[in-house]
Chain A
Amino acid sequence: MTTVRHSAPPDLGYILATLRFRWRSIVLPIVAFTILGGLAPLFLGERYISKATLLIDPPRLAGAGSDAVLTEEIETLRIVEQHALSDAVLTALAEELGGLGGLDETPEELRDRITLTTSGGPGRGAPGMPILAEISFVAPTADLALRATKQIVAFILSEQSAQRASHSGGTVAHFAAEAERLSWTLARAEERLSEFERQNQAALPDSLSFRRTQQAALRDRLMQLDMERANLDSAGKAESGGSEQLTKLRADRAALGAVLAPDNKRLITLDAQIEALTESPSGATPDTEFQIRSSALAKQQDELRSEIDALSLSIEDTPRIANQLSALQREVRMAERDFETALAKKNAAEASTRVERIDTDRYIAVLHPPALPEHSENPGQTTLAAIGAALGIFAGVVLVFARELFDTTISRPADLRASLGLDPFEVIPILAPRKMNRFSLHLPGLH
């Protein structure tokens, strides 16, 4: 039994010859697809597209306002891309178009007819450039396409205007409230700083050197008082001789008075001497002045020591006070900075609001208004026929290769050799008779 093997591998010549041989398999799909392409406009219907281009130009503010502008751009695009396709808009559009008897479709079907494309803008790699939003609507008639596009553009403009108005007021109010809050925070910080400085006025670091100088001066004064008191003590000792004699005479009088008679002369003499010493000014005045001056000096010394001790305590406490004071001052400075920032943002928002109020109509501008489409967007009959021909060529080639792939016939001697192991006894080519009708599909040599 002969083993059946596969066909011989194809080469370029075989492929070209096969395409040439199977030309009917290519021509027939070409003809069929070309006819279908030519007849396609009869089944596709008309497609009119009305387009409008919106120019979205956000206000350009320097500094903190630029972030707000980018947010505004995103917000605007969100409005254009999402709100324009919302169910509310589409429902209104369906009622508008259906009411006029032109296009009776659901909002979902209308959504498929709307196309929104945006380009440019800082969010798309073109900083400083405005955003272009193109809106188009596909309808079976030119009038319907124009009306629908006008409706959509009108909605976008009104929606954006309302959104901008509410959003701008909200921004200013937000920054104003923030500034007020930070102002209160700053006042509280300043109040705490003042109270602290008032409570620790004697130990503030600003008066540290003064207090040290004052302490040194007080110590000098104390030393001076010490010296004055020492001099006073030495002077007092020199003047205290009369009083000691009086004391001795009184002691002797007391001792003799116990044993002698009162009229004893000796006692009378002692009494006269005592009386003389007692009545003498040098005997009583110097002692009293010494005591007064000594006590005054002692009092001054005590006061100086108290002052010096107080100064020492305040000087020792100054570093702690300085740290606390520095923290309070930092708190005040931060509050001041936050307050100034909020104030600047508030001012920027107010300025932006003023700009928008001036330029509201130009923030979203209709660059190209909706226009009545002049031609149907469907490709022409010639184009569709050409596309059909191209598809036919592709289908024909695929058909030929698929046919060859599953073909089990013998096409060439190599196939016979590969499948049956036999060389053909003779190979007779396709005969081309001279007088055969060239359009006849009949091939000779088949009987």
Chain B
Amino acid sequence: MQTQPMQHEAPGFFDDPFALRSKDFAWSQLPTITLDSEILRTNAILTRRSSAESRHFDTLRSRTHRKMRAEGWRRLAICSPTSESGASTVALNLAFSFARQTDERVISVEANLGAPSHLCMLGQPTQNPSTIRLFEGQDDFAKVGVRAGPSLGMAFATHPRDDGSDILRNPSLSTSLKQLDAGFAPAITVFDAPPLLEGDAALSLLDHVDCVLIVARADRSTRREIDLAERLASERSNLIGIVLNGCRFA
């Protein structure tokens, strides 16, 4: 049985010029990071520049963006049935592709607290604070986030935590995300969610997002896992679809 997905209220920041200036200022104050293109390519982050290699992610981005815009969705969770299915890679590529497509702000939040990988994949040193402080309401995005371009903000999980489920079930998470939306007015927020079938952390996060993409790894994810993940995701959020990643028949 599919529950009624949550509809998050979009901030009307275009209505208040002062607020808009305030958000621009806050966005501009985010620390920037420098990305090495070769490291990105080595780690299959291919969408920072438009190329032939990025076309599959660009297609995924366009279809997802079209769907989200049509439905008025702003928070997108990328999750997989089990770990090592490529959800983080898809999430980062989608974030870069979203940021490249539009002038609107896109924020990538690493919520897979059990196995953080964004810093490694982007070739960035470990830095504090982690997204955990954002989820727990201890810091806002202005202190946690960085900018990886003019329109892409990112927040990383710096260290693996075993209590990711508890952190994502924290009541302050909803407030923190509302503050994020209010403070930076992202058009799209991409959450790299934990695996759906490895604890209930992902289910907790899905309560705070508008839609979800399931990334299944070809030749790794079983039919039963995909079927179960699809049902769980549909019950908690709006399932956009299943992305078959690493397919040798594409």
Contacts and interface: CB of A to CB of B under 8 A. Distances in A.
Nearest to A419: B223
A264 B153 CA distance: 223
Nearest to A444: B44
B28 to A, nearest CB: 30
A416 B249 contact: no
Given A409-B218, A434-B42, A425 B245 contact: no
Contact of A444 (B43, B60, B240): B43
A405 interface: no
B222 A428 contact: no
A256 B119 CA distance: 208
Interface string A15-56: 001001100000000000000000000000000000000000
B249 A435 contact: no
Given A17-B248, A428-B57, A428-B247, A416 B226 contact: yes
B92 to A, nearest CB: 9
A411 B248 contact: yes
Contacts of B248: 17, 20-21, 411-412, 429-430
A420 B56 contact: no
Interface centre among B38, B222, B243, B246 (most CB of A within 10 A): B246
B247 A21 contact: no
Contact of B246 (A413, A416, A424, A429): A429
A62 interface: no
Interface string B45-83: 010000001001101100110000000000000000000
B242 A424 contact: yes
A1 B2 CA distance: 11
A233 to B, nearest CB: 151
Contacts of A416: 216, 226, 242, 244
Contacts of B249: 14, 17, 411-413, 427
B227 interface: yes
Max count, chain B CB within 10 A of own CB: residue among A21, A410, A433: A410
Given A429-B247, A435-B41, A409 B240 contact: no
A238 interface: no
Contacts of A4: 223-224, 227
Nearest to A6: B223
Contacts of B220: 409
A444 B245 CA distance: 11
Contacts of A1: 231
Contacts of A427: 56, 243-244, 247, 249-250
Contact of B218 (A7, A410, A434, A447): A410
**Majority secondary structure of chain B interface residues (helix, strand, loop or mixed):** mixed
A426 interface: yes
A408 B216 CA distance: 13
A419 B230 CA distance: 13
Interface string A381-415: 00000000000000000000000000111111101
A439 B132 CA distance: 37
Given A2-B230, A408-B223, A410-B244, A433 B43 contact: yes
B117 interface: yes
Contacts of B64: 425
Interface residues of B, number: 48
B86 interface: yes
A426 B215 CA distance: 9
A445 B231 contact: no
A12 interface: no
Interface in B202-250: 213, 216-224, 226-227, 230-231, 240-250
Contacts of A415: 223
A165 interface: no
B117 A411 contact: no
Given A411-B218, A426-B244, A447 B117 contact: yes
Contact of B56 (A413, A419, A429): A429
B158 interface: no
A431 interface: yes
A446 B219 CA distance: 12
A447 B57 contact: no
B213 A425 contact: yes
Contacts of B42: 433-436, 444
* Highest count of chain A CB atoms <10 Å: which of B59, B63, B227: B227
A409 B85 CA distance: 12
B86 to A, nearest CB: 4
Contacts of A434: 38, 41-42
B86 A447 contact: yes
B58 to A, nearest CB: 10
Nearest to A22: B219
B236 to A, nearest CB: 17
Contacts of A422: 230, 241-242
A254 interface: no
B216 A410 contact: yes
B224 A446 contact: no
Interface in A275-304: none
A445 B218 CA distance: 11
A72 to B, nearest CB: 73
Contact of B247 (A2, A413, A444): A413
Contacts of A409: 218-223
A443 interface: yes
B176 interface: no
A4 B241 CA distance: 18
B146 interface: no
A17 to B, nearest CB: 6
B177 interface: no
Given A410-B226, A420-B230, A427-B56, 16 more contacts: A1-B231, A2-B231, A410-B216, A410-B244, A412-B218, A413-B249, A416-B244, A425-B60, A425-B63, A425-B243, A428-B90, A431-B44, A431-B246, A434-B41, A443-B246, A445-B90
19 contacts: A2-B231, A4-B223, A17-B248, A409-B222, A410-B221, A410-B226, A412-B247, A424-B241, A425-B60, A426-B59, A427-B250, A428-B57, A428-B86, A428-B90, A428-B247, A434-B42, A445-B44, A446-B246, A447-B89
Top 10 closest pairs, chain A to chain B, by CB = A425-B241, A429-B250, A444-B44, A447-B117, A412-B249, A426-B60, A447-B88, A424-B244, A419-B223, A445-B86
